[in-house]
Structure 1
Amino acid sequence: MADNTLWVGVLTAGTAVVASWVTSRGTARAARIQAEAAAESQHVDRLRAARRSAYVGVIEQAQRMGDMYWKVTDVAGDPDAADRRGALTDLRLRLRDEYAVLRHRVWVVDLEGPAEVAEAANRLRRSTSDNYRALNAMIGDEAGAEERFNACYAPFWQAVLAFVAIAREALRGTAAVSPRGR
């Protein structure tokens, strides 16, 4: 009987050691999985924040340019040709500076991605070209230049709205898609 007790004790101890080993491996694996999930979640959060910041920068800059387009329209009504030309020339310089900021922000969006948002940002950037050409024509007193300039606002604004819609969808999809593939 003593021999059976010894074997039962050894078997119980062995079972306890194996159970402990299995439990510790499971706990270690669970901890590793949890750490990986937390790291991935933090990465997605950082990516989403960086993208959101880049997208907001483009939208804010487009709004500034849109405001300046309205100023051009206001100045175009000045009856004094010399004052009008001087103010339009000043606005053209300011718009050129604002365009440089927009171009920089579009590049940031291109870096942050995804490609659809970068393409929309680039279309928005390109939509400012007709406005600039029409403004130059206004400064040169070309016939119909003011109407051309005013006609350029709607396509510009449509490009802004398209960018906002695509950026919104990209941000909503950031949490659902792994950022590793961009």
Structure 2
Amino acid sequence: MGDSTLWVAALTAATAVLASWVTSRGTARAARIQADAAAATVQADGLRAARRSAYVDLIEQAQRMGDLYWKVTDAHEIGDPDERLATLRDLRIRLRGEYAVLRQRVWVADLEGPPEVASAADLLRRSTSANYRALDAMIAGEEDAGRRFNDCYAPFWESVVHFVGVARTALHATRI
């Protein structure tokens, strides 16, 4: 009876060691899967935060340009021709500076992606060209330049709204 007890004890010990080894391998694998999932989540959250920041910066810059466009419209109504011309020239200089910032922010949005957002950002950037040409025409004294400038505002703002929609969709996509 003593011999069978030894065999049972040895078999029980071997089973316990094997069970422990199998459990530790499963636990290690589960921990690795959990760590990989956590790292992927952190990476996705970081990418989403970077994209959101880039998109918000671009939207804010477009808003600043839109505000200056309203000032151009107001300046065009100034009665004194010299004051009007001086104000329009000042606004053109300010718009050049704001456009440089907009262009940089479009590049950042392009860098952050995805392609749909980059395309919408570039469309927004290109939508400022007609406004600038109309402002130059206003400064040059062309008769219908003020109307042309005002007609450019709606397409510009539509491109801003389009960008916001595309950016929102990209940020809320299940996979970034």
TM-score scaled by length of structure 1: 0.96
Give me the whole-angstrom Cα distance separating, in 2, the residues matched to 1:112 and 1:126: 19
Q: By how many angstroms is 1:131 displaced?
A: 0.1
Q: By how many angstroms is 1:143 displaced?
A: 1.4
Give me the whole-angstrom Cα distance separating, in 2, the residues matched to 1:80 and 1:138: 14
Which residue is 2:131 aligned to? 131
AA partner of residue 114 (structure 2): P
Mark the runs of 5 or more structure 2 residues left unpaired by the alignment. Answer: none
Q: By how many angstroms is 1:3 displaced?
A: 1.4
Give me the whole-angstrom Cα distance separating, in 1, the residues matched to 2:111 and 2:162: 19
Question: Which protein, 1 or 2, shows the higher relative CO under an 8 Å CA cutoff with sep ≥ 6?
Answer: 1
Which residue is 1:74 aligned to? 74
Q: By how many angstroms is 1:79 displaced?
A: 1.1
Which consecutive segments of 4 or more residues in structure 1 shift more than 3 A?
Answer: none
Mark the runs of 5 or more structure 1 residues left unpaired by the alignment. Answer: none
Deviation by residue 1:141-179 (Cα, 9 ceiling, x = unmatched): 001000000000000000000000000000001xx21x4
Give me the whole-angstrom Cα distance separating, in 1, the residues matched to 2:41 and 2:79: 60
AA partner of residue 136 (structure 2): N
Q: How does 1:18-167 map to 2 (within 5 A)?
A: 18-167=18-167
Give me the whole-angstrom Cα distance separating, in 1, the residues matched to 2:42 and 2:86: 52
Which residue is 2:9 aligned to? 9
Name the SS for the 1:143 alignment partner: coil
Paired positions, count? 176
Identity of aligned pairs, percent?
Answer: 68
What RMSD in Å do the two structures reach over aligned CA positions? 0.6
Give me the whole-angstrom Cα distance separating, in 2, the residues matched to 1:37 and 1:97: 44
Q: By how many angstroms is 1:130 displaced?
A: 0.1
Q: By how many angstroms is 1:101 displaced?
A: 0.1
Give me the whole-angstrom Cα distance separating, in 2, the residues matched to 1:119 and 1:82: 41
AA partner of residue 69 (structure 1): Y
AA partner of residue 65 (structure 1): M
Give me the whole-angstrom Cα distance separating, in 2, the residues matched to 1:114 and 1:57: 16
TM-score scaled by length of structure 2: 0.99
Which residue is 1:169 aligned to? 169
Name the SS for the 2:78 alignment partner: coil
Give me the whole-angstrom Cα distance separating, in 2, the residues matched to 1:73 and 1:32: 61
